[in-house]
Chains A and B, each alone.
Chain A
Amino acid sequence: MDLTDSDITDPTDFPASLPSLVALDAALRCAVCKDFFKGPVLLTCGHTFCSFCIREALSEHKECPSCRKPVSDQSLHRNTTLEEVVLAFLRARPEILTAVKPPELKRKRARSDSSAVAGPSVHRQDEDVEEASDDEVVEYSPSEGERQRSISPRKSKESTPGSAAPTSFVSCPICIEYMPMIELNEHLDRNCAAPRKKFKADEGKLAWQSLLNGKGKAKEKPRLKNGTKKRSPSPPPTRMVKHNYHIMSEKDIRALLTDASLSTDGSKKAMVARHSHFVTLFNANLDTMRPKSRKELIKELEAWEAGKEMDDRQKKKRKEKVEDTKQYEAANQDQFKSMINSIKSRPKPSSSALTTTSAKFALTATDETKGFFDSSPAPSPPKNLKRDGENEVIVLCDSSDVEAL
């Protein structure tokens, strides 16, 4: 498993000799996901995070992750300007990277790029200034023609598209979205907009109305038609709300899911998790400049759920408990014996009091472990191996201070 994927961008992609660029890159990233802001939202304390990240974080603690000031998810505001800044920087990033690359790499890059699919040729006026100011780093100045080619906005670490099959997935150089390479050009022509899908605005609107107003939907509709003037064709969709799930019955939750046209499979817990995650996805999606379609969101939700199921299953496996201790003991007798022997055969300490006690511990541990074994062979200090109330342990670092609390 390659742990450091090539498409992972990082502030340290910039050479350490240019700390201002490293800092600029770092400043445009969300502190939670360490990726560039996606649908940034402003908190009342002034900090900004990706909409999705902060919504996830708030589901755990209702405070700003950076300064711990209390925040509610109703008080989040879209930070459109910052999103534009990030998009502009993402467009400029590959250019800057190319400009500051050492000459060796750059020449290689330029060559491989000539066979590549041309990205959008965004030429920035200030590029010359950029290069000029970094004189000691960039000694190599490409000729005009070479530069034209070298300004293919791609991250330095990515594989060259020349070697990629047309069906392979690539990351858009502008919006870092993933897509098959054959779709990339079309996507860029659309200015990174999502492909136009037949999205029935009315259908969605109705669904939300029924969700929010309950039975009032039938009354609401004619009034809108006759009374109010014609609205813009697609009014901004309303945000979804998280409900107080644990006071709801399974039936209510199922109704919620049906209203949002989500699957109603699984236990109550699974349904609650599904609805609340979808609400987060949905609301976070509204904070982005190019919101995804409902279909895509549902796909994301399904992927999340599949991943979660796998994690849960793994967790269960790890927590497997020994049911029949007698049988377990018999099956692992050899291992137990060798562990007991290894402890018994340890050199006996001679003098200091401290070591004698630890030897005593070792003996106690051996006695105790005759019936049941802990996974750790380390015998000292003695462990009471029957753990009762495993999750209910209250621990005080210093019991003398308890009264002060």
Chain B
Amino acid sequence: MSAISTKRLQKELAEIRKGCPAGITLLEADDLAVWFLSIEVLGESVYKGEVFSLRFKFGPRYPIESPEVVFVVDNTHQAPIHPHVYSNGHICASILGSEWSPVLSTSAVCITLQSMLASCPKKERPTDNDRYVRTAPLSPKDARFQYHDDTV
């Protein structure tokens, strides 16, 4: 971890601990490499009442490089059924890939994903879900997504 990423993550953590935006809670942050946060869509939406868990992995080049963000999929957690979220938890969102900017932060990512879920009119998986999940790399950062649909 370089000095800049350590310091920045410490600040972000302090900020998150002092108070998260509505619907977002810090579940676990034992170190400065992996954090778990839960997000929930507040208000009327197709995900009403569902709580999802996000895993953030920060590399040594954070915030210059984007963090790896996936929905946790295990016995107790499921990925939301959304046209940009694969059933293995990988998210197809431009801000996590080519559109990442170092001014974004953990809470900014959470808010973006929250609004991505909130604006979803119908629960469905991406059309190529099976194909992707079969061949998906371990980290979504190694997949080359094509971002084309900015309606949801």
Contact = CB atoms under 8 A, between A and B. Distances in A.
A398 B148 contact: yes
Contact of B14 (A12, A59, A394, A395): A12
A113 B10 CA distance: 27
A31 B103 contact: yes
B148 A397 contact: yes
B143 A395 contact: yes
A299 B17 CA distance: 34
18 contacts: A8-B11, A10-B11, A12-B15, A33-B8, A68-B101, A308-B60, A311-B1, A311-B60, A381-B87, A381-B130, A384-B135, A387-B135, A388-B135, A389-B135, A390-B137, A396-B128, A397-B147, A397-B148
Contact of A395 (B73, B102, B128, B149): B128
Interface in A367-405: 378, 381-384, 387-402, 404-405
A275 B133 CA distance: 40
B32 interface: yes
Contact of A397 (B11, B31, B60, B126): B126
B2 A304 contact: yes
B15 A395 contact: no
Contacts of A387: 135, 137
A378 B10 contact: no
Contacts of B146: 394-397, 402, 405
Given A33-B4, A393-B135, A57 B64 contact: yes
A180 interface: no
A34 interface: yes
Contact of B101 (A59, A66, A393, A395): A66
Task: Please classify the interface of chain A as helix (H, G, I), strand (E, B), loop, or mixed, using the class held by over half of its residues.
Answer: loop
B133 A397 contact: no
Contacts of A52: 4
Contact of B142 (A56, A383, A391): A391
B94 to A, nearest CB: 11
A274 B60 CA distance: 16
Contact of B73 (A33, A307, A378): A378
Contacts of A392: 144
Nearest to B87: A381
Given A68-B101, A384-B134, A395-B143, 17 more contacts: A4-B13, A8-B11, A8-B14, A10-B15, A35-B8, A304-B2, A311-B60, A381-B133, A383-B134, A390-B137, A393-B132, A393-B143, A395-B132, A396-B146, A397-B84, A399-B127, A401-B149
A205 B16 CA distance: 47
Contacts of B133: 381, 383
A393 B10 contact: no
**Chain B contact patch, size range:** 35 or more
B113 to A, nearest CB: 15
B150 to A, nearest CB: 11
A303 B2 CA distance: 9
Interface of B: 1-4, 7-8, 10-15, 17-18, 29, 31-32, 59-60, 63-65, 73-75, 83-84, 87, 92, 101-103, 105, 126-128, 130, 132-138, 142-149
B103 A65 contact: yes
A32 interface: yes
A10 B14 contact: yes
A33 B2 CA distance: 12
Nearest to A400: B127
Nearest to B126: A397
Contacts of B126: 397-398
A32 B2 contact: no
Contacts of A400: 127
Nearest to B65: A60
A3 B32 contact: yes
A324 interface: no
A53 interface: yes
A323 interface: no
Nearest to A380: B87
Contacts of A10: 11, 14-15, 18
A334 interface: no
B10 A397 contact: no
B134 A398 contact: no
Given A3-B29, A391-B142, A393-B137, A398 B127 contact: yes
A1 interface: yes
Nearest to A401: B148
Contacts of A1: 31
Contacts of A320: none
A391 B135 CA distance: 10
